[in-house]
Amino acid sequence: MATLTGVQKAYILHWGEMGTRWGINRTVAQIHALLYLSPRALPAEEIAETLSVARSNVSTSIRELEGWGIVRAVHVLGDRREHYESMKDVWEMFRLVIEQRKRREIDPTREMLRRSLEELDPKEAGVDFTRERLAAMAGFFDAVTELHDQMKSLPTGTVRKLLRMGAKVSGKKKSRAASS
């Protein structure tokens, strides 16, 4: 079991805390942080020891990380155990997470809004106000979805470049966009 340096500890703890704020299990986030900082793939046993959590807890958490597609099992010659490693490309990692969260949270919300707008009873009092609010919310999520779909169609590196300089482009575009 590799002992952690001060910086590594700080990173893992911070990342775990960050996870909880965004609805991600603290241990899951910590394991990801550990693997992200690790130069070699680690067996579950070693992860459990390093972070002082139960082996079973690691098993469940790893499964979730595999579900996000940002951690995978690799095999080491002469060792029957699974070793786990994190994706190293930060941009791709966040792209994956965002894509999944969209699928799990944004899409169902859009569906709920769509169905609600359908179900609105015209005889009900205050229905116009409700419709307006739901439609406004739906419009927002539609726009976010459209943007996401477009980004998805770009090769990974491009997204990074666009995001890096995109802000400046937007600035220049401001007058044109506003007047259109």
For residue 97, state whether it binds a copy of itself (rule: CB under 8 A).
Answer: no
* Cβ contacts of 68 within 8 Å, gap of 6 or more: 96, 97, 100
| Continuous H helices in 120-155 | 127-152
Of 43-51, 65-73, 75-83, 140-148: span binding a copy of itself (CB under 8 A): 140-148
**Size of site (CB under 8 A) for a copy of itself:** 68
CB-CB contact of 32 with 67 (8 Å): no
Dist CA 119 CA 116 (whole Å)? 5
Q: Least distance from C-beta 138 to a copy of itself, angstroms?
A: 9
**Binder among 16, 22, 31, 61 for a copy of itself (CB under 8 A):** 22
Among a copy of itself, DNA, none, the one that 54 touches (CB under a kind-dependent 5 to 8 A) is DNA
Sign of the CA dihedral with 165 first, then 168, 172, and 173 last: positive
DSSP 92-111: HHHHHHHHHHIIIIIHHHHH
Binding site for a copy of itself (CB under 8 A): 5-8, 10-11, 14, 18, 20-23, 36-37, 39, 88, 90-91, 94, 104-105, 108-109, 112-113, 116, 119-121, 124, 126, 129-130, 133-134, 136-137, 139-140, 143-144, 146-147, 149-151, 153-155, 157-158, 160-171, 173-174, 177-178, 180
